[in-house]
Amino acid sequence: MRDGAIDGLSIGFRTVRARTDAKTGIRRIIEADLWEISIVTFPMLPQARINSVKSANIRKPLPTTRQFERWLTRDAGLTRGEAHQVIHKGFAELKRERDAAQPSRNALADKIRRAAKLLTHQG
């Protein structure tokens, strides 16, 4: 697949609910039971193609401590002290201290979740 030798998809399903537009004759599947998805050489629908392939065997190296600290301060919005605490004591310890000071505040956890989503989508 990485070399482009095979890139077609076959999707097997059973239509549960569908509507056909009276003017255009186009059938729209509203609900379907998926039975299988297979990689094939010649798909029935020419546009049913695989555009990219992830690598299951090659892992990106973990960031260095300095890179992680930079990410925590720049993208997650933590102070340097908070970033150091996350790195050395873990997020749970920082959250515990924050929660003790302001029990209704989950902003730190939300910031880190949003930043983590950005980080994973950029990879």
pLDDT, tens digit only, all 123 positions of the chain: 777 788 899 988 999 999 999 999 999 999 999 999 899 989 888 888 888 877 666 666 767 888 888 888 888 788 888 888 888 877 666 666 655 555 444 666 677 777 776 666 554
Is there a contact between 50 and 1 (Cβ–Cβ < 8 Å)?
Answer: yes
Q: Which residues are bridge partners to 10 per DSSP?
A: 38
* Those residues with Cβ within 8 angstroms of residue 120's Cβ, 6 or more apart along the chain or in another chain: none
Distance of alpha carbon 58 from alpha carbon 73, whole angstroms: 28
- 0.95 surpassed by pTM: no
Distance of alpha carbon 54 from alpha carbon 2, whole angstroms: 9
